[in-house]
């Protein structure tokens, strides 16, 4: 079993690929495309240990279960923290039909995404999770490269591209050239940190508690250009009063929301600055024209791209389907649709 970044040739031999994220799990099967795109959650009966639900259904149960049912998340920050539970979750998400089809393959091979600076233990956990599903060999691919391929960046060309993977737990920023990473930075701030900042704001200033599920609607309330000054001035939010426990709604000033999420977003901007400072000047010149490509579920935070544009002075693009770029990139590699850079071999002296 290898823990190095796999070559395109090895990836072409894989039968399926998994992107195990903190928020969602996605599986791509060669020839069938994206077959699973579900929340990384499993509901377990703590008395019997039985699995009650996985994915979307388990996610809906969060915060609504009797005490003997627990909703667990086997992946945290891009790393599998509970291997056995991750295997059980994946088995259920794949379903019998797909698993039977995969079992028929002689020497089943799998590919998986790992965060840029995943340590050997995190890599091992990803490998063991897939070995438990019957894979005889597991190839690991850096999430940054998979996402860059998935959103159609010219990864194998000798020109710089900057990619930013905005996940739930972390944001990864990298400059790529010639099919590999020139400089990269992982910032431990993601969509969840932004949500958390908003929850704290509502709790302290308005004494309002949000049900765990409805943090997202706040960003929807901010709508299209919510993070920019041109957005709506205030928005109505429903929740529960901290003291009485009764339902109530408050009107929140959009400007205060913007200020609350400034702190986590500033950390992301610092990370981008560090990557640019570590980058060779020739490549930085390329980037000034091409800009930054944003992928990952949190890339869709309203107004986030405009904020980056103002802060860096570079063009910022959001990928077409930012949430599935990494797994689509793995799929492209599996199907052998990416041409490796062919160098003319020079005669050796």
CATH code for the domain in which residue 228 is found: 3.90.640.10
The tens digit of pLDDT for each residue in 116-163 reads 888 999 999 999 999 999 999 999 999 999 999 998 888 778 888 899
Say yes or no: 174 and 268 in one domain: yes
Please give the tally of structural domains in the chain. 3
Mean pLDDT of 172-190: 90
Q: Does 340 fall in a domain?
A: no
DSSP string spanning 38-70? EES-EEEETTT--EEEETHHHHHHTT-S-TTEE
Say yes or no: 136 and 181 in one domain: no
Say yes or no: 42 and 135 in one domain: yes
Contact in structure between 323 and 296 (CB atoms under 8 Å) = yes
| pLDDT value at residue 124 | 95
Nearest-CA neighbor of 21 among 114, 119, 147, 140? 114
| pLDDT value at residue 157 | 80
Q: Does 115 fall in a domain?
A: yes
Average pLDDT across the chain, whole number: 86
Query: Of 54 and 157, which is predicted with more confidence?
Result: 54
Say yes or no: 32 and 117 in one domain: yes
Contacts of 341 (CB under 8 A, 6+ apart): 156, 157, 158, 178, 179
Tokens, residue 240: 């529960």
CB burial readout 113-145, b (16+ within 10 A) else e? bbbbebeeebbebbbbbbbebebebbbbbbbbb
Q: Does 203 fall in a domain?
A: yes
Tokens, residue 223: 């709508």
pLDDT category, 209, cuts 50, 70, 90? Answer: confident
Task: Classify 142 as helix, strand or coil.
Answer: strand
Contacts of 346 (CB under 8 A, 6+ apart): none
Contacts of 266 (CB under 8 A, 6+ apart): none
Q: Does 226 fall in a domain?
A: yes
Say yes or no: 117 and 230 in one domain: no
Distance separating alpha carbons of residues 241 and 209, to the nearest angstrom: 6
Contact in structure between 239 and 209 (CB atoms under 8 Å) = yes
Q: Does 39 fall in a domain?
A: yes
Contact in structure between 183 and 279 (CB atoms under 8 Å) = yes
Helix axes 262-277, 191-206, angle to 10 degrees: 150
Does 93 carry a binding-site annotation?
A: no
Helix axes 262-277, 304-312, angle to 10 degrees: 50
Nearest-CA neighbor of 17 among 340, 333, 338? 333
pLDDT category, 195, cuts 50, 70, 90? Answer: confident
Q: Does 84 fall in a domain?
A: yes
The yes-or-no verdict on residue 230 having pLDDT over 60 is yes
CA dist list (Å): 128 to 86, 107, 230:
10, 16, 49
| pLDDT value at residue 229 | 64
Mean pLDDT of 281-303: 87
Does 298 carry a binding-site annotation?
A: yes
CATH of the domain at 113: 3.30.420.40
The tens digit of pLDDT for each residue in 308-340 reads 898 888 999 999 999 899 999 999 999 988 765
pLDDT category, 174, cuts 50, 70, 90? Answer: very high
Say yes or no: 27 and 49 in one domain: yes
Q: Does 328 fall in a domain?
A: no
Answer positive or negative: Cα dihedral of 74, 98, 297, 268: positive
Say yes or no: 224 and 270 in one domain: no
Say yes or no: 269 and 300 in one domain: yes
The yes-or-no verdict on residue 75 having pLDDT over 50 is yes
The tens digit of pLDDT for each residue in 100-109 reads 999 999 899 9
The yes-or-no verdict on residue 345 having pLDDT over 50 is no
Supply φ then ψ for residue 345, to 5 degrees: -65, 125
| pLDDT value at residue 46 | 93
Say yes or no: 79 and 184 in one domain: no
The yes-or-no verdict on residue 1 having pLDDT over 60 is no
Distance separating alpha carbons of residues 127 and 289, to the nearest angstrom: 39
Answer positive or negative: Cα dihedral of 261, 265, 270, 273: negative
Share of the chain above pLDDT 70, in %: 89
The yes-or-no verdict on residue 64 having pLDDT over 90 is no
Say yes or no: 185 and 85 in one domain: no
| pLDDT value at residue 145 | 92
Please give the angle made by the CA atoms of 122, 279 and 152, to the nearest 5 degrees.
65
Say yes or no: 26 and 109 in one domain: yes
Does 297 carry a binding-site annotation?
A: yes
Rg (CA), the chain: 21
pLDDT category, 299, cuts 50, 70, 90? Answer: confident
Tokens, residue 260: 């609350």
Does 300 carry a binding-site annotation?
A: yes
Among 14-18, 80-84, 240-244, name the one with the lowest average pLDDT. 240-244
pTM: 0.85
Full domain range(s) for residue 278: 154-189+261-323
| pLDDT value at residue 73 | 93
Mean pLDDT of 260-288: 89
Contacts of 167 (CB under 8 A, 6+ apart): 21, 22, 23, 78, 190, 191, 296, 297, 298
Q: Does 341 fall in a domain?
A: no
| pLDDT value at residue 334 | 92
Say yes or no: 77 and 114 in one domain: yes
| pLDDT value at residue 303 | 76
């Amino acid at each position: 079993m290898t823990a190095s970044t796999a070559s395109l040739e090895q990836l072409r031999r894989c039968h399926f690929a998994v992107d195990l994220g903190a928020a969602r799990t996605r599986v791509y099967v060669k020839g069938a495309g994206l077959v699973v795109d579900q929340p990384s959650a499993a509901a377990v009966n703590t008395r019997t240990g039985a699995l009650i639900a996985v994915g979307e259904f388990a996610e809906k149960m969060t915060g609504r279960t009797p005490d003997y049912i627990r909703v667990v998340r086997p992946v945290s920050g891009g790393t599998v923290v509970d291997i056995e539970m991750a295997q059980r979750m994946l088995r259920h998400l794949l379903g019998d039909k797909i698993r039977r089809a995969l079992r028929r393959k002689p020497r089943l091979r799998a590919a998986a995404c790992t965060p840029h600076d995943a340590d050997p233990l995190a890599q091992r956990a990803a490998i063991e999770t897939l070995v438990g599903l019957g894979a005889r060999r597991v190839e690991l691919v850096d999430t940054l490269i998979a996402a860059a391929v998935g959103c159609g960046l010219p990864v194998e060309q000798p020109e710089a591209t900057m990619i930013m993977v905005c996940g739930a737990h972390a944001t990864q920023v990298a400059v790529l050239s010639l099919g590999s990473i020139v400089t990269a930075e992982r910032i431990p701030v993601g969509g969840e940190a932004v949500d958390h900042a908003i929850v704290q704001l509502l709790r302290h200033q308005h004494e309002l508690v949000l049900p765990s599920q409805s943090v997202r609607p706040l960003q929807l309330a901010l709508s299209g250009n919510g993070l920019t000054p041109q957005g709506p001035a205030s928005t109505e939010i429903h929740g529960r009063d901290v003291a009485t426990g009764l339902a109530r709604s408050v009107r929140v000033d959009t400007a205060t929301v913007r200020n609350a999420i400034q702190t986590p977003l500033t950390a992301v901007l610092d990370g981008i600055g560090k990557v640019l400072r570590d980058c060779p000047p020739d490549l930085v010149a390329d980037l000034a024209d091409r800009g930054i490509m944003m992928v990952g579920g949190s890339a869709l935070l309203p107004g986030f791209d405009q904020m980056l544009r103002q802060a860096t002075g570079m063009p910022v693009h959001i990928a077409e389907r930012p949430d599935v770029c990494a797994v689509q990139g793995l799929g492209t590699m599996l199907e052998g649709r990416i041409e490796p850079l062919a160098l003319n071999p020079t005669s050796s002296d």
